[in-house]
């Protein structure tokens, strides 16, 4: 696994303020990412819009300011709140005489530290290999030589780059094959759940929104939950008994974040597949976050990217115990015009509203189960010839599931 050298070092954070409203929150999030990786943020250096330099990423004057700041705080690492090119990283490291890492590399480092299962470790390793492959061409540009002269041989840089590319491509192929095997095992487990008609619920949300705390509160599983980013990487699933013989399977998955590296989304398909194949999604939202809407939009974008945006979902507004009383009416269920719940206000940490959330889960499970029974009856009637025309154009093997409007608009019939 690629080692970025982030652990237990003093760092200075670097950001470019492009005028967006969420820039302060973005820098605060970078500080949390740095702490989650084991680094100690000492100071920040901020450039303004238009100050991006193609060679150093930041202009030379700002680079000199960064060097002074790092020396003042005895910092060994500069963490850039953006994705930078290999050339910019190398040039800035030469200018500073210190190590530089960008946001993507930092997130990859955290994932490498947190992955525990074989599946999680394989996914992280594949993401890291793809990240290095995407940066390989420019990384060796300083050694490249034009082909020409006697023998038309390439230079030493080109030769080394080809060797590195071949090595990484071979490693990526091996990891992809391993992931394919693990995904086949997952599909077998999912088919068993479908045969047993187990209602499947997936927890999603922005990192540190309280997913794992909610998972523990509902299942008493005791999985790791902490006030840090990406506390959970590996999917954990547990059964929940809702009474009257009804049970569901609840899965806690990896948290999302703004500018989530594409390599991670692709590599973590196996983990995210639990969400894609869920009957219901619980979107956990930090209700007291000043950028809750932006965080919600980031999660929605990833759900769309992985093909899970049409799955029915409930927005779980978490941490209401931390909100001023004037901004909340306490734990409650919000329903659309058809009476279907689409939002629940709770506090997983304080245990507020968990009974209401369980009630919503039971309602969805009952609705899905009822329509499955109706679909089975239709199939029997059709087999007897009592129905000549199919009532749905869906595949014969599909469940006739209840799918309310995933956008949960209370004014939409």
Q: What is the mean pLDDT of residues 307-323?
A: 92
- Give the pLDDT band (50/70/90) at residue 342: very high
Q: Confidence band (pLDDT; 50, 70, 90) for 50? A: low
Pick the closest to residue 125 from 107, 136, 116, 112 (CA basis): 112
Contact 131, 105 (CB under 8 A): yes
DSSP characters over 197-216:
T-EEEEEEEBTTSSHHHHHH
* β-sheet bridge partners, residue 318: 286
Domain limits, the chain: 10-111, 197-384
pLDDT in tens, 365-411: 888 755 444 444 555 555 565 544 444 443 333 333 434 444 544 44
Q: CB burial class (10 A; 0-12, 13-18, 19+) of residue 396?
A: exposed
The 10 Å Cβ neighbour count of residue 201 is: 21
pLDDT at 155 over 80: no
**Maximum separation of any 2 CA atoms in the chain, in Å:** 84
Query: Could you tell me what percent of the chain has a pLDDT over 90?
Result: 33
CA 81/CA 78 separation, integer angstroms = 10
Q: Do residues 343 and 356 lie in contact, with contact meaning Cβ atoms separated by under 8 Å? A: no
Least confident of 88-92, 147-151, 217-221, 255-259: 147-151
- Please name the CATH architecture into which domain 197-384 falls: 3-Layer(aba) Sandwich (3.40)
- Pairing of β 199-205 and β 10-17: unpaired
Superfamily of segment(s) 10-111:
GTPase HflX, N-terminal domain (3.40.50.11060)
Structure tokens at 103: 């946001």
Helix residue ranges, H only, 239-322:
262-267, 269-276, 292-305
Please determine whether the domains at 10-111 and 197-384 fall in the same fold group of CATH.
yes
Reduced to 3 states, what is the DSSP secondary structure of residue 167? helix
pLDDT at residue number 330: 85
pLDDT (average), residues 187-191:
69
Give the residues across from 47 on adjacent strands: 16
């Amino acid at each position: 696994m690629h080692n970025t050298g982030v652990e237990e070092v003093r760092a200075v954070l670097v950001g470019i303020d492009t005028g967006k409203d969420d820039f302060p929150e973005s820098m605060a999030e970078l500080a949390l990412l740095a702490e989650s990786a084991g680094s100690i943020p000492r100071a920040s250096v901020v450039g303004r819009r238009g100050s991006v330099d193609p060679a150093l990423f930041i202009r030379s004057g700002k680079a000199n300011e960064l060097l002074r700041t790092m020396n003042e705080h005895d910092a060994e690492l500069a963490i850039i709140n953006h994705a930078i090119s290999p050339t910019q990283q190398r040039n800035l490291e030469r200018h500073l005489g210190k190590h530089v890492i960008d946001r993507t590399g930092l997130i990859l480092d955290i994932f490498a530290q947190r992955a525990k299962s074989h599946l999680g470790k394989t996914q992280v390793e594949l993401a890291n290999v793809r990240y290095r492959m995407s940066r390989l061409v420019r990384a060796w540009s300083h050694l490249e030589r034009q082909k020409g002269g006697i023998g038309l041989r390439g230079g030493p840089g080109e030769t080394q780059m080809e060797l590195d590319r071949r090595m990484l491509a071979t490693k990526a192929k091996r990891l992809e094959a391993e992931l394919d095997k693990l995904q086949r095992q997952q599909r077998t487990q999912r088919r068993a759940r479908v045969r047993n008609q187990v209602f499947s619920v997936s927890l999603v949300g922005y990192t540190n929104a309280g997913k794992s705390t909610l998972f523990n509160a509902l299942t008493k599983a005791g999985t790791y939950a902490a006030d840090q980013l990406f506390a959970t990487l590996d999917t954990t699933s547990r059964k929940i008994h809702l009474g009257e013989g009804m049970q569901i399977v609840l899965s806690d998955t990896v948290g999302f974040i703004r500018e989530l590296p594409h390599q991670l989304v692709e590599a973590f398909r196996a983990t995210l597949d639990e969400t894609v194949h869920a009957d219901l999604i619980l979107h956990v939202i930090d209700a007291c976050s000043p950028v809750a809407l932006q965080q919600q939009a980031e999660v929605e974008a990833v759900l769309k990217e992985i093909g899970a945006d049409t799955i029915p979902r409930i927005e779980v507004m978490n941490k209401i115990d931390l909100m001023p009383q004037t901004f909340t009416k306490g734990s409650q269920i919000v329903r659309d015009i058809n009476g279907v719940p689409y939002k629940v206000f709770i506090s997983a940490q304080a245990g507020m509203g968990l009974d209401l959330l369980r009630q919503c889960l039971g309602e969805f499970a009952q609705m899905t189960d009822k329509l499955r029974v109706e679909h089975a009856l239709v199939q029997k009637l059709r087999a007897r010839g009592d129905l000549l025309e199919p009532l749905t154009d869906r595949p014969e093997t599909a469940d006739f599931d209840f799918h309310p409007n995933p956008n949960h608009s209370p004014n939409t019939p």
